[in-house]
Structure 1
Amino acid sequence: MALQINATNPEHPALLLALPWHLPLEEWPEEYLVPLPRGISRHVVRYARAGDEVIAVKELARRPALREYELLRDLDRLGIPAVDPLAVVTGRTDLAGQPLESVLVTRHLGGSMPYRSMFETTLRPATVHRLMDALAVLLVRLHLTGFAWGDCSLSNTLFRRDAGAYAAYLVDAETGDLHPELSAGRREYDLDLARVNISGELLDLEASGALHPSVDPVDFGTGICARYRDLWTELTRTSVYPAGKYHYIERRIRRLNELGFDVAEMQIERASNGDTVTFVPKVVDAGHHQRQLLRLTGLDTEENQARRLLNDLESWMATQDDYAPAGSRPSPGGRHPHGARPEVLAHRWVREVFRPTVRAVPPELRGATDPAEIYHELLEHRWYLSERAQHDIGMDTAVEDYVRNILPRTRDALRPPAG
């Protein structure tokens, strides 16, 4: 069989052809590889460079490679946080004509880390809790779309910083299945696997001395089940309200929005006696604040980053002369009731506030941290300095102090470690 590259982008095959497909992945020369931290995998995985992109290359048999490639494409279409599939390479042979395993190619998730690299320095229990929260949210999102993971674990997940929290991304869909809807039994099976896998992984860390002594691996494995069930219940439960109390429904929707979810479809039924109204969220989509920020500014961020940036944007807009809140009347000074549209102000904020602030941080000090996370950290630093000074010190002063006193101490942590 001749070498064949199936790719999502017509530009990728030409870039990928330059890689040494005639060699087993374990034997690829260093000149092709990128030294990034790798998690534990049952397959050989390497990071390589294809043109300007860093890619993850995983060897596995042809059928599972093609299947995982299609599953990752499905998850991408559904908007699920997962690695981006670029290509699958089949028909590989060595120079002697002997067959080699197929390869799945995905885009490296910038700024992400496998959990073992994060535990190289002992994480505080609060940080471990945030990782578990992120993984529970990912599992709920998968189940809402009908995806049964089949092997939920820390090893099959990548984590990115998200405004003081973490965002979890699925990195291995090999054991997954996509269905129109998952039964309660199938969800519980996935959840039980997650509990066993996570407890086992934390026990391994404990044995190696990389786990904080106050963290109990078994309790944490059980804890993710509780986190999952609480969130699942909040997103799917049926609510019964007194007739006429329709603001209760709005309050429930606002609560879901605060959790980062939109209600795309709902079912509302009035009781036959007219005394009560039943509300059921039928379709719940994650990314409420992400979509709002993207619509207003064009910035594509994680959910918590989007929430933080939206808060800053709203505060900034209130200081603008041409800002007029929805439904506002002319001010005593005669300001026109119809100020600039929110989209106009939002793009001005990006141009005059967000971009100049991020650009004030030297690229060599940013490391792998994305612009939205940098801006969040600057907001946090500004708040800290303002609290200490008992007055608002301004963003320029915060940036100057952050670059001079904070980033030099954390530069090595921001850069992906070699090896």
Structure 2
Amino acid sequence: MTPATPEILLRTPSPELLSLPWDLPLEEWSPPEVPLRDISVGPSRHLVKFVEADEKLWAVKEMSPRLARKEYEVLRKLEDMDLAAVRPAGLVIQPGRETAILVTRFLEGSWQYRRLLMRLPPDRPKHRARLLDAMVGLLVDLHRHGVFWGDCSLANTLFTRDGQVLQAWFVDAETSEVHPQLSDGQRRHDIEILTENVAMGMIDLAVRLERPPEIHGRLIDEAQGIADRYTALWELLHEKPTFAFDDRYRIEGTVRRLNELGFVVEEISLQPVDGSDLRLNVRVGGRGYHSRHLRDLTSLTVGEGQATILLADLHAYQGHLSQEAGEDVTEHDAAARWVVDVLKPGEARAHAALDRVGSPIQAYCDLLEVRWLRSEEAGHDIGFDAALDALSRDVPTDSAAKMSVAEAPTGTIPAIDPDET
């Protein structure tokens, strides 16, 4: 019997993507007819494969039409809100089999938690803390926009490097819902799910890696701290401090604290309360304060963590130019020269030192971090060439283990955090 013609919805109707065998079950997709790439993924309720088409990589997942439509719509809404989530690329309904295939863009340079944690020594809790901070930051962002995750876990999250921090990305939207606003109960439920799933995921991996039993209790304690991390960030974004009219200078401190965490303050309002007192209300936008500022100066589009590092380098260069000129050089003038004279040649050399693994901009951020760490150890600035040599020496030569500092969440440099214990 001839299978029913599939209903195809593609947001990128490119020739190679259109020519894929959308009328066949996903389990029958195989090379050489279909250009699949073998990518290790964790356990999944549904069959997932990765397809190369039109020089891009796509994730295709087979599921029921109802779930596929729901996940596609949720991912579209998350994209409209500019949240950290994989981008939906298409939806194919196969009526003859009552199945559907959801297509999403593969998140380049991303890893699952298993690959990250397998590379981290068990006695480095600060490295795991970065991963948990990234997950909590993602959950807070989702909740602020009315997104109930429903199945938040390590397995349903991808991670990318952004400077010396991690960025968590929402992947699986099967159980998710988008509301105008979430109730406290919905937020608590998501936090409880995340805490339990993170604990189970880390314990499962520790067992697989044959970690000693005493590590298990430590991992559970770290997972149980997720609620405190979430509460601290949520309250910072939603607190409404009250102060006297003459203490309006305190607004600057609140705004600066939010900016330092990367949040853009879009609006503040002061409401009179109790006579001469004022209550401060802050409307906070996305976490892109530094990246937005760098883009305004240089037209560069980078991650928030990368922008923080690059702006520090730019401002150091601005100080150098001002000293040479004997007068202040504006930030905009310094930025134009910095891109040409410092950033572009620097990122090319740093990327080459890492055998061109990862992105050039991340390689340059790693070079700056190495330079700072080694200079702290030496008690003086070691300079660009010495830092480049140190960066190059720390690249693993084993191609099977080549997750370099341009790729790994905390780098292959042991001293990436000098006060680690």
TM-score (norm 1): 0.86
Q: Structure 1 residues 319, 363: closer, same or farther in 2, change over 3 A?
A: closer
Gaps of 5+ in 1: 93-97, 324-330
Q: Structure 1 residues 397, 184: closer, same or farther in 2, change over 3 A?
A: same
Q: Structure 1 residues 165, 283: closer, same or farther in 2, change over 3 A?
A: closer
Q: 1:59 aligns to what SS in structure 2?
A: strand
Distance 1:71 1:376 in 2: 34
Would you say the 8 A contact 2:65–2:100 is kept in 1? yes
Distance 2:244 2:341 in 1: 48
Aligned position for 2:69: 66
Aligned position for 1:107: 105
- Residue range with higher mean Cα deviation, 370-379 or 294-303: 294-303
Would you say the 8 A contact 1:235–1:284 is kept in 2? no
| 2:99 corresponds to 1:78 | no
Would you say the 8 A contact 2:317–2:334 is kept in 1? no
| 2:186 corresponds to 1:182 | no
- Residue range with higher mean Cα deviation, 351-360 or 390-399: 390-399
Distance 1:22 1:352 in 2: 54
What are the within-5 Å matches in structure 2 for residues 134-145 of structure 1?
Answer: 134-145=134-145
What are the within-5 Å matches in structure 2 for residues 150-229 of structure 1?
Answer: 150-209=150-209, 213-214=214-215, 216-229=218-231
* Alpha-carbon offset, residue 304 of structure 1: 1.6
Aligned position for 1:393: 382
Q: 2:192 aligns to what SS in structure 1?
A: helix
Question: Which residue identity lines up with residue 187 of structure 2 in the other structure?
Answer: R
Identity value in percent:
36
Distance 2:293 2:133 in 1: 23
Q: Structure 1 residues 2, 368: closer, same or farther in 2, change over 3 A?
A: farther
Would you say the 8 A contact 2:350–2:360 is kept in 1? no
* Alpha-carbon offset, residue 182 of structure 1: 1.1
* Alpha-carbon offset, residue 243 of structure 1: 1.4
Distance 1:208 1:376 in 2: 33
Q: Structure 1 residues 357, 148: closer, same or farther in 2, change over 3 A?
A: same
Would you say the 8 A contact 2:111–2:158 is kept in 1? yes
Q: Structure 1 residues 78, 410: closer, same or farther in 2, change over 3 A?
A: farther
TM-score (norm 2): 0.86
* Alpha-carbon offset, residue 159 of structure 1: 0.7
Distance 2:357 2:300 in 1: 18
Q: 1:385 aligns to what SS in structure 2?
A: helix
Aligned position for 2:236: 234
What are the within-5 Å matches in structure 2 for residues 231-310 of structure 1?
Answer: 231-274=233-276, 276-310=277-311
Q: 1:300 aligns to what SS in structure 2?
A: coil
Aligned position for 1:349: 338
Question: Which residue identity lines up with residue 60 of structure 1 in the other structure?
Answer: M
Q: Structure 1 residues 368, 228: closer, same or farther in 2, change over 3 A?
A: farther
* Alpha-carbon offset, residue 348 of structure 1: 2.9
Distance 2:369 2:285 in 1: 31
Gaps of 5+ in 2: 409-421
- Residue range with higher mean Cα deviation, 205-214 or 66-75: 205-214
Distance 2:210 2:162 in 1: 23
| 2:49 corresponds to 1:49 | no
Question: Which residue identity lines up with residue 265 of structure 2 in the other structure?
Answer: V
CA deviation vs aligned residue, 1:54-84 (integer Å, no higher than 9, x gap): 1111111122212211211211121211112
Would you say the 8 A contact 2:353–2:388 is kept in 1? no
Would you say the 8 A contact 2:346–2:364 is kept in 1? yes
Q: Structure 1 residues 250, 321: closer, same or farther in 2, change over 3 A?
A: closer
* Alpha-carbon offset, residue 100 of structure 1: 6.2
User: Quick one: which of 393, 404, 407 aligns to 2:395?
Assistant: 407
Q: Structure 1 residues 130, 401: closer, same or farther in 2, change over 3 A?
A: closer
| 2:15 corresponds to 1:26 | no
Distance 1:195 1:353 in 2: 44
Distance 1:352 1:58 in 2: 46
* Alpha-carbon offset, residue 271 of structure 1: 2.4
- Residue range with higher mean Cα deviation, 220-229 or 20-29: 20-29
**Over the residues paired in the alignment, what is the CA RMSD in angstroms?**
2.6
* Alpha-carbon offset, residue 360 of structure 1: 1.4
Q: 1:285 aligns to what SS in structure 2?
A: strand
Q: 2:312 aligns to what SS in structure 1?
A: helix
* Alpha-carbon offset, residue 217 of structure 1: 3.6
Question: Which residue identity lines up with residue 9 of structure 2 in the other structure?
Answer: N
* Alpha-carbon offset, residue 43 of structure 1: 1.0
Q: 2:59 aligns to what SS in structure 1?
A: strand
Distance 1:55 1:171 in 2: 13
* Alpha-carbon offset, residue 230 of structure 1: 0.7
* Alpha-carbon offset, residue 315 of structure 1: 1.0
Q: Structure 1 residues 61, 133: closer, same or farther in 2, change over 3 A?
A: same
What are the within-5 Å matches in structure 2 for residues 357-396 of structure 1?
Answer: 357-361=346-350, 365-366=354-355, 368-396=357-385
Would you say the 8 A contact 1:367–1:414 is kept in 2? no
Would you say the 8 A contact 1:122–1:211 is kept in 2? no
- Residue range with higher mean Cα deviation, 27-36 or 184-193: 27-36
Would you say the 8 A contact 2:163–2:366 is kept in 1? yes
- Residue range with higher mean Cα deviation, 19-28 or 58-67: 19-28
Question: Which residue identity lines up with residue 318 of structure 2 in the other structure?
Answer: M
* Alpha-carbon offset, residue 209 of structure 1: 2.8
Distance 2:93 2:311 in 1: 45
CA deviation vs aligned residue, 1:131-176 (integer Å, no higher than 9, x gap): 1110000000111111111111001100112222211000111211
In the comparison of the two structures, how many residue pairs are matched?
Answer: 396
